[in-house]
């Protein structure tokens, strides 16, 4: 085995899934290509590698990595490059040079033990210096944990969660009880953790092993949207997973129930097993909604029929009997559900309700679960709508489903009426935060289509509330004449009814040509069809420009027609490599000027500005927002993006994990 020390000068390739990397390492003797698994590595990192030299038939001499360790930079030049490589927010090459020039050989000591001294460097305040040092030290401690966790198959994102939960003693705690990872990390490979624990001598029926197996099974169920599992099915799964007897499972279930780790509920002749906090959340939602609905109806409007007629006259909108029934239901109840497919008049009802309560000086709040849904709501109603996260000011809560902060103190909502659109996308945790914020006497109107995809998170809140028959529900099923001109709307209803797409001979002349069905079963041919439509055919049909008017949607990320491969193919066709266009390789993904990208997580702190006649600025870019890369600044390690609403945002290279290509997006992402 050969040992090498050196600095990463270039990353040629890095697989985003398993971190298999091809990089150029500069040692004291030479620059050479190294290959192997190197998670969480960036240009400028100093590494100690063990492995062997191999000869590739095409690329020649390489160093194949067997084990690796990240080490502190050993020269001032390499330290400067490390500090300026984009992993520390706000520190680019220029700032890194000033820090190293100022402190010289004392730089590492200052970063570790006297961070306030960084305030002596030009352009750095005392507080900013402490922030820089904190990031530097956290990154270093995190790296030690990352290297250790790699053998458990746990990636970089999870390493942060582990560090937050277990602190600097994380490695010691995991070595003492590997199963603790089930409690503090997400999407862990239980079988790999279990294998290592067994190799350490843990018995098959060890209490910690069985309890962790049960938690793993219940958490795994939540990934599919379930909040609870039937007891018999859980036992069968655990028996197969752990190769133990039902008696061992019973003992752990009893102890976990006593310790309030799980909850058992008898319902419809079956025993359902919950993780305890999932039960608490469901129970709280049900209790709060029932209490709210039974409270005194303080916002009821008298002479409603007369007032509806006045609004119809004022707005030149004429409501159907079913729409009037929905408005009466809202007036008569504190909690009301309005459901129906596209084109059935839900938006008209919302607009009328807003007009009603505005006339009575009542404050109506509009919201939706996602940024895109809130934007659509604003456009269709003419009133400001917010995301539930922004409305409830819960941006700082972790997005991790496994460890939600169910005790988070939500500020009460100052409103008389709360209207939630796209309710089908609300999961149990978001709903729990909402019901906590409602005063008794507030009217809550839930609007949505139960035939849409359910929430990405656990729970099917809208459908369950309707099925409970505890709350007044108005179901809209008439397609209005204007909406009926759209084949998209007609066909969506036909599909829900189990019918095939409407045929050409069934269409009326006035129908818009807004829906086409191309029958093809060969994946390669489908891909070529998609590329052809995006690169010219649709522009000829209706002057549709890909970057302004076209969005590709796929049900999956994987495969030739999944979003990953589609994005690569469409980028190559619509925005290919050019010597005149800057680009940045991030873990094997190439971001290029002109690329269409999507924000894939909520970031409530990132700064944005809009320029023009009415300049404005603020903070916050949210999951699902789309934009175009306008500039890549390799000197300052930043990317400039203009979003659809003309927000200009600069991303540090270290923040690019928040973005992905959006030439093609999944169905779930398209709803955001």
pLDDT (tens digit, 9 = 90+) per residue, 191-250? 888 888 888 888 999 999 999 999 999 988 988 889 999 999 999 999 999 999 999 999
Beta strands across the sheet bearing 626-633: 616-621, 603-610, 648-652, 638-643, 626-633, 596-599, 659-661
Kindly indicate the confidence band of residue 510, based on its pLDDT and cuts at 50, 70 and 90. Answer: very low
- pLDDT reported for residue 112: 85
Q: 672 with 601: CB under 8 angstroms?
A: no
Rounded to the nearest 10 degrees, the angle between the axes of helix 246-258 and helix 231-242 is 120
Residue 429 has pLDDT above 60, yes or no: yes
Task: Give the span between the Cα atoms of 529 and 560, in whole angstroms.
Answer: 13
- pLDDT reported for residue 524: 92
Task: Give the span between the Cα atoms of 406 and 7, in whole angstroms.
Answer: 44
Kindly indicate the confidence band of residue 61, based on its pLDDT and cuts at 50, 70 and 90. Answer: confident
438-481: per-residue pLDDT in tens?
Answer: 999 999 999 999 888 777 788 999 999 999 999 999 999 877 65
**Residue 2 token pair:** 């050969």
Beta pairing, strands 596-599 & 626-633: antiparallel
Distance of CA 641 to the CA centre of its chain: 19
Q: Residues 556-568: what's their mean pLDDT?
A: 92
- pLDDT reported for residue 482: 61
- pLDDT reported for residue 646: 84
- Alpha-carbon separation of residue 173 from 158, 182, 198, 522 (angstroms): 16, 13, 16, 52
- pLDDT reported for residue 158: 66
3-class SS shares of the chain: helix, strand, coil, % to 5: 45, 20, 35
Q: Among residues of the chain, what percentage have pLDDT more than 90?
A: 45
- pLDDT reported for residue 400: 44
- pLDDT reported for residue 475: 93
Residue 277 has pLDDT above 60, yes or no: yes
Say which residue the tokens 């139960």 belong to.
450
Contacts of 453 (CB under 8 A, 6+ apart): 424, 425, 667, 668, 671
Of 30-44, 405-419, 470-484, the least confident: 470-484
Of 71-75, 356-360, 474-478, 647-651, the least confident: 71-75
pLDDT higher for 500 or 147? 500
Report the run of H or E that residue 230 belongs to, with start and end.
Answer: strand 228-230
Q: 430 with 369: CB under 8 angstroms?
A: yes
DSSP one-letter code for 362: P
Residue 548 has pLDDT above 60, yes or no: yes
Q: 398 with 406: CB under 8 angstroms?
A: no
Task: Give the span between the Cα atoms of 362 and 417, in whole angstroms.
Answer: 8
Kindly indicate the confidence band of residue 398, based on its pLDDT and cuts at 50, 70 and 90. Answer: very low
Strand, coil or helix: what is 276? helix
> Of 315-324, 481-490, 513-522, which has the strongest mean pLDDT?
315-324
- pLDDT reported for residue 307: 92
Say which residue the tokens 């966790």 belong to.
149
DSSP one-letter code for 140: H
Task: Give the span between the Cα atoms of 136 and 317, in whole angstroms.
Answer: 60
**Residue 512 token pair:** 């818009």
Q: 571 with 661: CB under 8 angstroms?
A: yes
Strand, coil or helix: what is 405? coil
Query: How does the average pLDDT of the chain come out, rounded?
Result: 86
**Residue 432 token pair:** 């729990």
| First and final C-alpha spacing in the chain | 51
- pLDDT reported for residue 363: 94
Task: Give the span between the Cα atoms of 25 and 53, in whole angstroms.
Answer: 13
H-only helix segments in 177-275: 180-184, 190-199, 207-223, 231-242, 246-258
Q: Residues 491-512: what's their mean pLDDT?
A: 66
Q: Residues 608-628: what's their mean pLDDT?
A: 81
Say which residue the tokens 């069809």 belong to.
529
Of 50-54, 306-310, 404-408, the least confident: 404-408
Q: Residues 603-615: what's their mean pLDDT?
A: 77
Quickly count helices (H) and strands (E) in the chain. 26, 25
Kindly indicate the confidence band of residue 406, based on its pLDDT and cuts at 50, 70 and 90. Answer: low
pLDDT higher for 536 or 236? 236
Q: 43 with 85: CB under 8 angstroms?
A: yes
Q: Residues 85-105: what's their mean pLDDT?
A: 87
Kindly indicate the confidence band of residue 345, based on its pLDDT and cuts at 50, 70 and 90. Answer: confident
The three state secondary structure string of 586-617 is: ECCEEEECCCEEEECCCEEEEEEEECCCCCEE
Q: 63 with 25: CB under 8 angstroms?
A: yes
pLDDT higher for 401 or 392? 392
Say which residue the tokens 């009426």 belong to.
417
Distance of CA 202 to the CA centre of its chain: 36
Task: Give the span between the Cα atoms of 247 and 205, in whole angstroms.
Answer: 10
**Cα-flanking dihedrals φ and ψ of residue 237, to 5°?**
-65, -45
Of 29-43, 350-364, 418-432, the least confident: 29-43
């Amino acid at each position: 085995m050969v040992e090498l020390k050196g600095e990463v000068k270039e990353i040629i390739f890095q697989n985003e899934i398993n971190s298999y990397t091809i990089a150029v390492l500069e040692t004291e003797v030479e620059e050479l290509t190294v290959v192997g698994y190197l998670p969480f590595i960036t240009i400028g990192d100093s590494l100690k590698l063990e492995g062997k030299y191999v000869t590739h038939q095409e690329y020649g001499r390489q160093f194949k990595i067997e084990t690796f360790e990240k080490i502190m930079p050993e020269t001032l030049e390499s330290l400067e490059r490390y500090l300026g490589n984009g992993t520390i927010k706000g520190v680019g090459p220029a700032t890194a040079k000033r820090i190293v020039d100022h402190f010289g050989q004392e730089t590492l000591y200052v970063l570790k033990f006297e961070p306030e001294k960084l305030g002596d460097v030009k352009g750095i305040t005392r507080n900013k210096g402490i922030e820089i040092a904190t990031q530097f030290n956290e990154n270093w401690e995190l790296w030690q944990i990352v290297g250790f966790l790699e053998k458990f198959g746990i990636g970089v994102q999870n390493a942060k969660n582990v560090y937050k939960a277990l602190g600097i003693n994380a490695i010691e705690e995991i070595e003492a009880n590997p199963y603790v990872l089930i409690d503090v990390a997400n999407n862990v490979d239980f079988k790999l953790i279990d294998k290592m624990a067994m190799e350490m001598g843990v018995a098959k029926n060890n209490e910690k092993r069985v309890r962790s197996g049960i938690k793993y099974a219940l958490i795994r169920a939540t990934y599919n949207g379930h909040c609870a599992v039937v007891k018999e099915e859980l036992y069968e799964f655990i028996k197969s997973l752990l190769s133990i007897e039902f008696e061992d499972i019973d003992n752990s279930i009893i102890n976990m129930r006593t310790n309030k780790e799980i909850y058992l509920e008898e319902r419809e002749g079956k025993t359902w097993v919950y993780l305890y906090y999932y039960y608490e959340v469901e129970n709280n939602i049900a209790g709060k909604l029932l209490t709210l609905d039974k409270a005194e109806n303080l916002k009821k409007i008298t002479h409603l029929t007369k007032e509806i007629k006045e609004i119809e006259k004022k707005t030149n909108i004429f409501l159907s009997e079913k729409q009037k029934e929905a408005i009466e239901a809202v007036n008569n109840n504190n909690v009301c559900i309005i459901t129906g497919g596209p084109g059935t008049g839900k938006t008209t009802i919302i607009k009328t309700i807003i007009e009603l309560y505005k006339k009575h000086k009542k404050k109506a709040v509009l919201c939706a679960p996602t940024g895109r849904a809130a934007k659509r709501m604003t456009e269709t109603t003419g009133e400001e709508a917010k995301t539930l996260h922004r409305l409830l000011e819960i941006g700082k809560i972790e997005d991790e489903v496994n460890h939600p902060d169910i005790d988070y103190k939500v500020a009460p909502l100052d409103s008389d009426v709360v209207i939630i659109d796209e309710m089908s996308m609300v999961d149990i945790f978001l709903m729990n935060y909402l019901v906590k914020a409602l005063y008794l006497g507030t009217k809550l109107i839930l609007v949505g289509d139960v035939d849409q995809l359910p929430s990405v998170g656990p729970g099917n809140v809208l459908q369950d509330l309707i099925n409970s028959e505890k709350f007044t529900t108005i179901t809209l099923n008439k397609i209005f004449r204007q909406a009926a001109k759209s084949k998209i709307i007609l066909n969506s209803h036909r599909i829900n009814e189990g019918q095939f797409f409407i045929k050409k001979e069934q269409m009326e002349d006035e129908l818009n040509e807004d829906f086409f069905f191309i029958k093809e079963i060969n994946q390669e041919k489908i891909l070529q069809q998609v590329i052809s439509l995006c690169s010219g055919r649709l522009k000829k049909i209706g002057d549709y420009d890909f970057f302004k008017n076209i969005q590709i949607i796929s049900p999956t990320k994987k495969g030739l027609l999944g979003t990953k491969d589609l994005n690569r193919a469409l980028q190559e066709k619509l925005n290919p490599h050019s010597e005149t266009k800057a680009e940045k390789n991030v873990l094997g993904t190439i971001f290029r000027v002109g690329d269409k990208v999507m924000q894939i997580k909520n970031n409530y702190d990132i700064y944005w500005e809009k320029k023009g006649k009415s300049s404005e600025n603020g903070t916050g870019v949210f999951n699902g927002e789309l934009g175009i890369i306008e500039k890549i600044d390799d000197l300052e390690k930043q990317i400039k993006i203009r979003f659809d609403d003309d927000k200009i945002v600069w991303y540090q290279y270290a923040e690019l994990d928040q973005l992905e290509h959006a030439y093609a997006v999944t169905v779930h992402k398209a709803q955001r």
